[in-house]
Amino acid sequence: MNNHRSIGLAVAQLGAVHLADSRASVVRRLVEMMREAKSRGADFVVFPELALTTFFPRYWITEEEAHERYFEATMPSEETRPLFDAARELGLGFYLGYAELTEDKRGFNTSIIVSPQGEIVGKYRKIHLPGHSDHKVDAPFQHLEKKFFEVGDLGFRVFDTQSVRFGMCLCNDRRWPETYRVMALQGAEVVVLGYNTPSVNIHWNEPVHLRTSTHLISLQANAYQNGVWVAASAKCGSEDGHHMIGSSAIVAPTGEIVARTVTEEDEVISTRADLDLGAMFREHVFNFAKHRRPEHYKLITERTGVGAPIA
Ligand code: CDT
């Protein structure tokens, strides 16, 4: 064993959560995976995006109904408290994605980092919301994130816990290089994220193998180019007939996949993440302070699209 700084990192992929599944039953599955992660030597475990319910943005329902059935007005609640209790009991930190309803009834696609003491030490609200807000009557299902959620208002921040600097994001964010770079510029060492990626693209005819391929490429390229570990957890399998990709993965700062799920069910993968490995990349090829040229990157913050100024 070397003397490198490290953290035991686990990803707990979640198989299908059907409409009929209760929050309590999902929380039981998550707690069981926390125990398995701990038994493998993990210090921190990553759960998926919107982990507590089915991926409801696929259904055309009113905001009020969605709030009532799928959003959390408090965290923890009576139903989610067992996760926080398990964190304390096991001495295990975790990342969890859920639908957040604020006191003034605003909806966000949110994730939190919880310490091994059971305290929420970081919160993120999803910034890159995919999909649409209108009813696509001819589509096989909807992707209504733009209807149910507001664009996150907390930015891409980093959080120090368990002697590691974590960054976090959610699903579609993982495809955008700006997500990781903004966190890496704040010294992120490990980026954690959850996702729900439907196997069918309702917008164009994308072969299913590309859905998995572009997911992995995004994790690998951004891990390498920012010298960070990336741990990504899927909710996957067939939820009431709607299939979503698996391939949850832990990627090293080399860009290599060090662990990847083989099922589309509840499954824990883990590794001991050497944090000094990332530091090496950030000191050399990606020494930001030495080599970046922000004076040539201005368009990144001045434009959203080709030739399009920020509205
Ligand atoms: N949940 C989420 O962000 N899913 C998107 C699907 C994009 S297709 C509308 C993803 O990037 O995986």
What is each CA distance from 101 to 45, 149, 237, in whole angstroms? 24, 9, 27
- pLDDT digits 0-9 by tens, 24-62: 999 999 999 999 999 999 999 999 999 999 999 999 999
Residues noted as catalytic? 49, 126, 171
Q: What is the pLDDT of residue 70?
A: 98
Place 308 in a pLDDT band, splitting at 50, 70 and 90: confident
- Residue 263's SS3 state is coil
- pLDDT for position 2: 79
Which ligand 1 atom is nearest residue 131's CA? 9
| Span from the CA of 34 to the centroid of ligand 1 (angstroms) | 26
Residue-wise pLDDT tens digits, 69-104 = 999 999 999 999 999 999 999 999 999 999 999 999
Mean pLDDT taken over the chain: 97
Instruction: Please determine, for residue 240, whether its predicted confidence score (pLDDT) is greater than 80.
Output: yes
Share of the chain above pLDDT 90, in %: 96
Q: Is the pLDDT of residue 160 over 70?
A: yes
Domain range summary for the chain, segments of one domain joined by +: 6-302
Give the rounded percent of residues in the chain with a pLDDT score beyond 70: 99
**Helices marked H in the chain:** 23-39, 63-70, 81-90, 145-148, 177-184, 208-226, 275-283, 288-291, 299-302
Residues with CB under 6 A from ligand 1: 49, 130-131, 143, 171-172, 175, 195-197, 201
pLDDT tier at 1 (50, 70, 90 boundaries)? Answer: low
Give mean pLDDT, residues 279-306.
96
pLDDT score of 223 more than 80 = yes
Mean pLDDT of 9-22: 98
* Among 199, 194, 203, CA closest to 134: 203
Which of 53, 58, 125, 196 has most ligand 1 atoms within 8 Å of its beta carbon, as the pocket-test mutant?
196
Classify 53 as helix, strand or coil: coil
Q: Average of pLDDT values for 163-182?
A: 98
Q: What are residue 187's phi and psi, to 5 degrees?
A: 85, 20
pLDDT at residue 241 greater than cutoff 90: yes
Cβ contact 247:232 at 8 Å: no
115-119, 159-163, 173-177, 205-209: range with lowest mean pLDDT: 205-209
* Per-residue pLDDT at 311: 67
Instruction: Tell me how far apart the alpha carbons of residues 54 and 249 are, in angstroms, rounded to a whole number.
Output: 21
Atom of ligand 1 nearest to the CA of 174: 11
**Confidence bin at 128 (pLDDT 50/70/90):** very high
Ligand 1 atom 9 nearest Cα: 131
Tell me if 126 sits within 8 A of 108, measured CB to CB.
Answer: yes
CATH entry, 6-302, from 3.40.50.720, 3.40.50.150, 2.30.29.30, 3.60.110.10: 3.60.110.10
For ligand 1, atom 3, name the residue with the nearest CA. Answer: 172
